[in-house]
Amino acid sequence: MKKIAFIINPRSGVRSKSQYPRLIQKYFPENEYETVLYNTNAPNDGFYQTKKYVQEGYDAVVAIGGDGTVNEVASALLGTSVALGVVPAGSGNGLALHLKMSGQPSVALRKISKRHEMLIDGCMLNDTPFFCTAGVGYDAYIANRFAEAGRRGPVVYVGEVIFQYFDYKPQRYKLTIDGQETIERKAFLITFANAAQWGNNVIIAPNASIDDGLLDVVVMSEFPIYEAPKISLHLLARQLDKTRYVETFKCKTLKVERKNPDYVHFDGEPGMMGKKLKIKVLPKVLKVWA
């Protein structure tokens, strides 16, 4: 009998989570599975609960929430034999959408119940794990503003992206690629992509793969405001790498140096880190049922 824990973030996204106990009972019947449901109620709660379930010998932990919830659960599963399941129930759902998980809870849970197993890469931003994307610059600035807004959903996020453009000042960065080549750029944003998207099927790194042992780095230079519609169209068409304001490269490790401590984001969660950042890939370190 398989033991599966479901960690639900009741505050993620905008939809009610009340249907999950019934759906879990339907797709994970008690004659085949031992299940437990846990509702998070504080930051990092999902991480510590997942650690507990690992120690108790669970076979899988399913994160029901947004990218932050997935990050907490996945971080606790790094390097273990316990599988991650993901049901997208947040604002961005980047990793879940990359894994082609349905936004319909019943479809996503049924897919997880099939227990199709794969191994994916994880990444580290200094000492912080991430699994979808992390970054510095404008996307990190927006992640912080979005968190401060106190409201969720893609409409709020798009509003922040548009209105904060005029206040944001790009920075200069020195990038050391795989400990060898060093380049300097004045960048609007730099995204470190394990998966292809930020979330909501907005593809920032069209060629990124979560199981190739490589990081896709996207450097967007400063651009005039009149170019924003054209860049947005490239983004929506999954062709951001085709615009002249973007350069991309792949690597296993990356060192980033900037003038001052500033915002970062990891899987959409905002944070503040120092002037020096180290990013690396952990190849095939996380088991996933998807």
Q: Tens of pLDDT along 209-254?
A: 999 999 999 999 988 888 888 888 877 777 788 888 999 999 999 9
Amino acid at 256: V
Compute φ and ψ for 287, nearest 5 degrees.
Answer: -85, 135
133 and 42, same domain (yes or no): no
101 and 161, same domain (yes or no): no
233 and 139, same domain (yes or no): yes
In a domain, 171, yes or no: yes
36 and 89, same domain (yes or no): yes
In a domain, 121, yes or no: no
Beta strand pairing call for 117-125 and 197-199: unpaired
132 and 225, same domain (yes or no): yes
Residues of the chain with pLDDT under 70: 14, 148-164
Alpha carbon distance 211, 145 (integer Å): 31
Number of domains in the chain: 2
Alpha carbon distance 235, 226 (integer Å): 15
84 and 164, same domain (yes or no): no
Contacts 24+ apart (CB under 8 A), 176-182: 176/254, 176/255, 176/257, 177/217, 177/249, 177/251, 177/253, 177/254, 178/251, 178/252, 178/253, 178/254, 179/253, 179/255
Closest CA to 186 of 280, 258, 249: 258
In a domain, 230, yes or no: yes
- Average model confidence (pLDDT) across the chain: 91
In a domain, 122, yes or no: no
Among 87, 115, 143, which residue terminates a domain? 115
**Boundaries of domain holding 161:** 128-283
In a domain, 143, yes or no: yes
Alpha carbon distance 105, 110 (integer Å): 8
In a domain, 290, yes or no: no
The SS3 call for residue 160 is helix
- What does the pLDDT read at residue 271? 94
Compute φ and ψ for 241, nearest 5 degrees.
Answer: -70, -10
Amino acid at 77: L
188 and 108, same domain (yes or no): no
Angle, nearest 10°, between helix axes 154-163 and 138-149? 130
33 and 59, same domain (yes or no): yes
Look up residue 132 and give its two tokens. 């979808």
pTM: predicted TM-score of the whole model, two decimal places: 0.90
Alpha carbon distance 43, 288 (integer Å): 23
- What does the pLDDT read at residue 158? 63
CATH code of the domain covering residue 271: 2.60.200.40
Compute φ and ψ for 235, nearest 5 degrees.
Answer: -65, -45
CATH code of the domain covering residue 109: 3.40.50.10330
Q: What is the DSSP string of 91-108?
A: S--HHHHHTT--SSHHHH
31 and 97, same domain (yes or no): yes
Alpha carbon distance 192, 204 (integer Å): 10
